[in-house]
Structure formats: C-alpha cells, structure tokens
Amino acid sequence: MDLQTEYFDDGSSFQAIDPLMLNPNHLSNISIFERFPKKNNTYRFRCLITDTGSMETEKLSRLLKSWEIIYVHKKHLGNYNAHIKDNLGYILRHETIDVKKKTAIFTRVSTEIIKGVFNIQLHKAGPDPDALKQVEKLISNAIEFITDTGSLNGLADLIGHDYDTHAHSIKVAWLVAAFINNNRDLFPKQSDADFQQFLIKAAVAGLLHDIGKTKIPKNILNKKGRLNNLEYITVQSHSAYSISLLFEGGFPTYALQAILYHHENEDGSGYPCGLKNDGIPLVAKITHIADVFEALTAKRPYKAPKSPFEALRIMSGSNPHAETLSHFEKEARENAKVPIETIVRNEPDIKRRRLREKEMMEEEAQKRVEARLILRDRGMAHCFDEDLIKRFIMTMNQSSSFNFSGLL
C-alpha cells in the first residue's frame, strides 16, 4: 500500500466521510482511517482497513455500518471521488442515507458531469460524446431519486442561492423528472418500459436545455446590471444554440423540442418561434415551467430571490399588462440595433455625438428592461398552460418543505 498505517497530523491531510457512502460490493484502493482525539494540536489517524478491495464483502459491509465517521487520506481522495461517481445509483437508492446527504452527493457529482458537457471546445460542433453518455448515466442512476417527491425536500434546500447555470440545469432536470413522474396520466400512450426511458430523456433535456449559453459572450451572460436590447436578444438566441449543439447527439424529437421551445409562451409572446397553445410540445411546456420557477427563486446580482410561494403566485397570476409586455418583447427585437443618430444629429462634435448616442441607447434599454421585469412580476399566467401550472403546484406541494395550499 502507498500509505502508512499511522499518521500524526493536524487534520489537513485527511477528509472525513460518511461510511454509508461506500459501496462494500465495489470498494477498492481506498484505505480507511479512524481519528483519535486531538493532543497538542495533532490528531492520531490509525488505519482501519488497508485494502478495502481484498476484504470479504459481508465483513466490510458490517464494519462500514458500525462506524459513524471515517477518514480518507487526501492521496486517496481521487479514488474516493471516482467511487462516489461510479456508485451514485447505490447511494441514492440507499434506504438509510438521508435526503440531505443524497442531495449533496447528487449535486456534487452532477455539477462535475455538467461542467464536462458544457465545456465545448470552440472548433467542435457539439459536446464530447463521452460527456453526453455520462449525462445519460447520471440521470439513469438518479432517476428514482429525483422522481420521488420526497427528494424535493433536498431540492428545497438548494433554492434561493446565487444563480449558476450548472446548478440551474440540475434543478430544472430534477423538477421536470418529478413533475412528469407524478403526472403520468398526461402521457397515456407510453407503455411502462417506454415511460422510464421517456422520463430519463426528458430529464436529460432539462439538464441540457441551456447548453447554448456556452455560445453567448461571457461579458453579456455575467453582466452585473440589466441587459440592453441587443444583449437581451443575444441571450435569447441560446435556445437555438442549444439545439444546434445537440442536433447530432441522438436525442428523440420530444427532447430536442423541449430544449428548443423552453421559452415559448402560451399566448405566443415567447421565443424563438412565438408558438402558442397546442403548438407548443408538452415536454417543452413542462420544461418552461420548471425553468421559470428555478430562475425566479434564484438570487441574481440585481435581484433578491423570490420565495417558492411568491414565484408560483406570480406564475399562476394573470397579468393586466400582458399586452404591453408582449409589445416590449417585440420592441426589444426591433430595437436591438436601432440607430439613435436621428435623435442627436444636431450635436456638432462627432465624438460627443457618438458618446451621447450610446448613452441614450443604454438609458432607454435599461428603462425598458426594467419596466419589462416589473410588469412581468405582476403575473405570468399568460406564459403557461393553466392545467400544467396547477399540476406543478400540486406536485411541489407533495413535499413537506413547501406549502402552496393558498394557491390551490
């Protein structure tokens, strides 16, 4: 073995782990240590098992259950992380591991995988096929967990944090999977065998719906303030980019549609195609609801997160300004590169004129975007299918972490 049987250390060379995370059936190349109380700022770490791979499974299983906490040397952390990734299904199906721990492991593993798939090299037409396979494997391993409404208690703890594309994607996939599994009657044509695959593919689509954001300039995506019209429209191109990046990934039509149309609104005011009502595919409508719910409840540099209750109140409320909003969207598209010269053409100094033009465009755009968001929060019912929103609220309400009875 490459490690000593005993160490005296300030603790920084070891990581504490929960023994339940280790699958005794597939455990090798990880030495397990116990820690003794601190003396003179030093802990004693003693090796409990030097080679987990050579021990009889039943004995190992018994031992793992008998320990509360164990330690892994940092030299073996790579092996430990690989073990967690390979045994995610085992961990998420484990009856005695609580939802919070499962959520932490699922988020950690999926963040790593999603970063891999979003890391598209410039000259490539799409993500690495191996990274895509890992995404499918991840969702297949996690599907029982994320479709169980009990797991929404874990998701509830992730709500309200800073917006992050990776975390957003995971939560959207989770919400889509939980919703579809609890509303199976919406898909009467799917046989049991087909349904499982359908569920996995729909969740994968949820995970990848914003992959096109990798093609949007970073300075626009990470802009601290509000976006101007041109930037706003540029961001809107992400759903088309998503589909073009995944076009050759072998996805079924409904998954590609969910990705392309996840910003279409029920009244036709969405993008990229302005589809409405029955013209929007069902999985796209579901992804849209999950997406907006996640986005509204996330914290941004320019806005506080809304509570889940407030988010769903807005999403299910009708908006007296729906028409104005629709007009603003249209206008944003038209004004994305409008020349303002006409307004300031009398300014004789060309440099000052250009600066003033730029200023005016920015000011105008800021005002419009500001107004769009304020008006939008007055109600978004026109964006969603009424029955699906009700079902979404009811599905979420099954988790003890939420109480939406006031909305039902």
Q: Which residues bind Fe ion (CB under 5 A)?
A: 210, 291
**What is the closest distance, in whole angstroms, from the C-beta atom of residue 55 to Fe ion in the complex?**
46
**What is the closest distance, in whole angstroms, from the C-beta atom of residue 113 to Fe ion in the complex?**
17
**What is the closest distance, in whole angstroms, from the C-beta atom of residue 212 to Fe ion in the complex?**
8
**What is the closest distance, in whole angstroms, from the C-beta atom of residue 299 to Fe ion in the complex?**
15
- Of 80 and 179, CB closest to Fe ion: 179
- Of 67 and 241, CB closest to Fe ion: 241
Give the span between the Cα atoms of 118 and 170, in whole angstroms: 13
- The rounded radius of gyration (Å) of the Cα atoms in the chain is 25
- Of 33 and 261, CB closest to Fe ion: 261
**What is the closest distance, in whole angstroms, from the C-beta atom of residue 268 to Fe ion in the complex?**
18
- Of 148 and 291, CB closest to Fe ion: 291
- Of 266 and 291, CB closest to Fe ion: 291
- Of 87 and 214, CB closest to Fe ion: 214
- Of 210 and 231, CB closest to Fe ion: 210
**What is the closest distance, in whole angstroms, from the C-beta atom of residue 109 to Fe ion in the complex?**
21
**What is the closest distance, in whole angstroms, from the C-beta atom of residue 48 to Fe ion in the complex?**
45
